[in-house]
Chains A and B, each alone.
Chain A
Amino acid sequence: MTTPVVQARGIVKRYGHVTAIDHSDFELRAGEVLAVIGDNGAGKSSIVKAICGATTPDEGEILIEGKPVRFNSPIEAREMGIEIVYQNLALSPALSIADNMFTGREIRKEGWQGKYLRMLDKPAMEKFARDKLTELGLMTVQSIKQPVETLSGGQRQGVAVARAAAFATKFIIMDEPTAALGVKESRKVLELIQDVRARGIPIILISHNMPHVFEVADRIHIHRLGKRLCTIDPKDYTMSDAVAFMTGAKEPPAEDAA
């Protein structure tokens, strides 16, 4: 088997007396969509935060493509090609779509204007943003220069996903991408997830929505009481099995089920 994209072993994170992550393992394989499910407070966000550098674990090690890493901030993770689509999307409403796609990694003009005057190459950024949105079939917006606050919820989600897809080289983390969306817009996001996977970029999908998880996930990581309970293949289990595992109603299968 090839080296997993992410491999975390024995991660521990404590906040005072609370142990958010209790010797948990984590594995993301190449080209897959890995769903992370768990009850509220099970620590699924905590483990993903540890992987993307939003928190630094107290114990344990994280390997990315076999190499140990220790991120101090999500910016460091981003520099390695790890993108995160936050639940609140992390977009600046008053800035344009193009500006939002390039926040923190703007393109400067070539030559003296960019070098000495630090002038942005807006046409290049707008073209890139337009190309990416078109690629993902999201060019339903009127203008790439329009502020994000004028977009619908689904369109905003599209911009956030497009931003991640455009810059991710290792993997993408998506936190509840369909939570705030209607039926039609959720469908669009699920198609985007499959699109991104088809380009060979693996995705970690945190979600509460069982039908969505079972539809797009290749494997499901079930988190319970701060650690990985088991990993299952959605084709071998039903949604009610998964819910039973994550709530403790049923004993989990052996660790290496999938």
Chain B
Amino acid sequence: MSESATPTQKGQDFEQVLDQSDAKVAAFEVKHHTVLQRIQHVLHNNPTLVPVIVLVLSLFAFGLIAGGKFFSPFNLSLIMQQVSIIGMLAAAQSLIIITAGIDLSVAAIMVLMSVIMGNLGVNLGLPTPIAIAVGLIGGAAAGMMNGLLITKIKLPPFITTLGTWSIFFALNLWLSGAQSIRSQDIDEKAPLLKFFGNAVSFGGARITFGVVLMVAIFGVLWYMLNKTAWGRHVYAIGDDKDAAEMSGIRTDRTLVTVYMLAGLVCAIAGWASVGRVGSISPQSFYEGNLQSITAVVIGGISLFGGRGSIMGALFGALIVGVFQSGLRLAGVDVLWQVFAIGWLIIIAVAIDQWIRRVSA
């Protein structure tokens, strides 16, 4: 059967000339690449390079402007502490944004879970490990709720999490009675809640466990995204969800796990925030949602999904921290810090768009 279908003269008549055709499939004149195009290519292959360069440059710049105070071990470690909670939220946010989604509820989940931990551990006097476990499970459940609404009811992530942001914030006010839990009460009844406020000091630097936790979370998530099948699927979904589905990925199931994991990371951040802030306040971190998105965007993770490394979000959070600290030490009014962050976001997205236009 196959003999007859493999004719000696292969192909159509008009294709016979193909044998003499140029064998090169698609050759590009490499020499015509300008320096700018080459930079574009390198950045396209290494999306984290931009935030790293910006971080290094801003460190130098503020070192020059603000002088020696800026580079003191104390100040550098302080930046890390200030960045730690938003950094963890940014890690959670990165997971979602890589799937081409967005999560406006990350900070709301975080604060709600810290309130739940505080209520159970301090006000109700339950054993602290149980209070923490309930908070962590609650975070995953809150994320699962987002994930199921997005995959099963097919709501856009933006709308879903805009809604759950309000829902979680209202629950948080209800459970806390809009009251903070005082630092002394936490010390007395549930000191474990403040575990991540502990620190090791050396040479003027003060590294809190919260900072270590943040770096560890980034490390674990980086591993999961880059070295496991789950991580490849997360990127594939963000790249092209339909194609991912057709090539055999159970996209809805994967997306739900992404939102659950993000919720869990937010709850861990909630625990760490008790150590960072000292008290548990239902009104804290109200801008955390947007700050986490800021860090992710400055970190070069594309809002359109599928591109960027989670480590970028860590650098993005650090860049924001360095700008705030540097401008403060240079004696610049707070409003100009906000002004500068605004420009950073716009420039970061503009660079992302430029890199995406790379000629393939």
Q: Which residues of A contact B (CB under 8 A)?
A: 31-33, 74-75, 78, 84, 86, 88-95, 99-100, 103-106, 108, 117-120, 140, 149-150, 152, 154-155, 163, 183-184, 187, 190-191, 194, 197-198, 211, 215-218, 235
Contact B15 A103 (CB under 8 A): no
Give the bracket for the number of chain B residues in contact with chain A: 35 or more
Contact A95 B18 (CB under 8 A): no
Sort A-B residue pairs by CB-CB distance and give the 3 closest, nearest first. Answer: A104-B248, A90-B246, A106-B229
- B225-261 toward A: CB 8 Å interface, digit per residue (1/0)? 0011110110110011011101111100000000000
State the Cβ distance, A137 to closest chain B Cβ, in Å.
12
Determine if B34 is an interface residue (Cβ-Cβ < 8 Å): no
A sample of 18 inter-chain contacts (CB < 8 A) reads: A90-B243, A90-B246, A91-B247, A92-B235, A95-B236, A95-B239, A103-B248, A104-B247, A152-B25, A155-B25, A183-B18, A184-B18, A184-B21, A190-B11, A191-B10, A194-B5, A197-B5, A218-B1
Contact check: which of B2, B18, B247, B250 meets A100 at CB < 8 Å?
B247
Please indicate the chain A residues that have their CB under 8 angstroms from the CB of B360 in the complex: 149-150
Please indicate the chain A residues that have their CB under 8 angstroms from the CB of B306 in the complex: 92-94
State the Cβ distance, A55 to closest chain B Cβ, in Å.
14
State the Cβ distance, B2 to closest chain A Cβ, in Å.
6
Determine if B8 is an interface residue (Cβ-Cβ < 8 Å): no
Q: Kindly state the separation between the CA atoms of A79 and B12 in the bound complex, as whole angstroms.
A: 37
Q: Kindly state the separation between the CA atoms of A94 and B240 in the bound complex, as whole angstroms.
A: 9
Contact check: which of B12, B223, B235, B250 meets A95 at CB < 8 Å?
B235
- B71-112 toward A: CB 8 Å interface, digit per residue (1/0)? 000000000000000000000000000000000000000000
Contact A99 B4 (CB under 8 A): no
Contact A75 B240 (CB under 8 A): no
Contact A194 B6 (CB under 8 A): yes
Query: Known: A140-B25, A183-B15. Is A118-B230 also a contact (CB below 8 A)?
Result: yes
- B325-360 toward A: CB 8 Å interface, digit per residue (1/0)? 000000000000000000000000000000000001
Please indicate the chain B residues that have their CB under 8 angstroms from the CB of A99 in the complex: 232, 236
Q: Kindly state the separation between the CA atoms of A120 and B225 in the bound complex, as whole angstroms.
A: 11
Q: Kindly state the separation between the CA atoms of A108 and B249 in the bound complex, as whole angstroms.
A: 16
18 new A-B contacts, CB < 8 A, other than A92-B244, A194-B5, are A74-B248, A75-B248, A90-B244, A90-B247, A92-B239, A94-B235, A103-B232, A103-B249, A104-B247, A117-B227, A118-B227, A118-B230, A120-B228, A120-B229, A152-B26, A155-B25, A184-B18, A191-B10
Please indicate the chain A residues that have their CB under 8 angstroms from the CB of B6 in the complex: 194
Q: B6, B14, B26, B248 — which one has the most chain A CB atoms within 10 A of its CB?
A: B248
Contact A92 B240 (CB under 8 A): yes
Query: Known: A95-B232, A103-B232. Is A75-B227 also a contact (CB below 8 A)?
Result: no
Contact A187 B248 (CB under 8 A): no
Contact check: which of A75, A89, A108, A150 meets B250 at CB < 8 Å?
A75
Contact check: which of A75, A118, A197, A218 meets B228 at CB < 8 Å?
A118
Taking CB as reference atom, which chain B residue is nearest A140? B25
Query: Known: A103-B247, A103-B249, A218-B5. Is A93-B240 also a contact (CB below 8 A)?
Result: yes
Contact check: which of A75, A163, A211 meets B12 at CB < 8 Å?
A211
Please indicate the chain A residues that have their CB under 8 angstroms from the CB of B5 in the complex: 33, 194, 197, 215-218
State the Cβ distance, A207 to closest chain B Cβ, in Å.
14
State the Cβ distance, B258 to closest chain A Cβ, in Å.
16
Contact check: which of B227, B233, B249, B307 meets A94 at CB < 8 Å?
B307
Please indicate the chain A residues that have their CB under 8 angstroms from the CB of B228 in the complex: 117-120
Contact A103 B236 (CB under 8 A): yes
Q: Kindly state the separation between the CA atoms of A152 and B228 in the bound complex, as whole angstroms.
A: 28
Please indicate the chain B residues that have their CB under 8 angstroms from the CB of A74 in the complex: 246, 248
Q: Which chain B residues numbered 201 to 227 have a C-beta less than 8 Å away from chain A? A: 223, 227
State the Cβ distance, A65 to closest chain B Cβ, in Å.
19
Query: Known: A103-B232, A140-B25, A215-B11. Is A31-B248 also a contact (CB below 8 A)?
Result: no
Q: Which chain B residues numbered 245 to 283 have a C-beta less than 8 Å away from chain A? A: 246-250
Please indicate the chain B residues that have their CB under 8 angstroms from the CB of A149 in the complex: 360
Please indicate the chain B residues that have their CB under 8 angstroms from the CB of A187 in the complex: 11, 15, 18
State the Cβ distance, B240 to closest chain A Cβ, in Å.
6
State the Cβ distance, B310 to closest chain A Cβ, in Å.
15
Taking CB as reference atom, which chain B residue is nearest A88? B243
State the Cβ distance, A80 to closest chain B Cβ, in Å.
13
State the Cβ distance, B103 to closest chain A Cβ, in Å.
21
Taking CB as reference atom, which chain A residue is nearest B308? A94
State the Cβ distance, B281 to closest chain A Cβ, in Å.
38
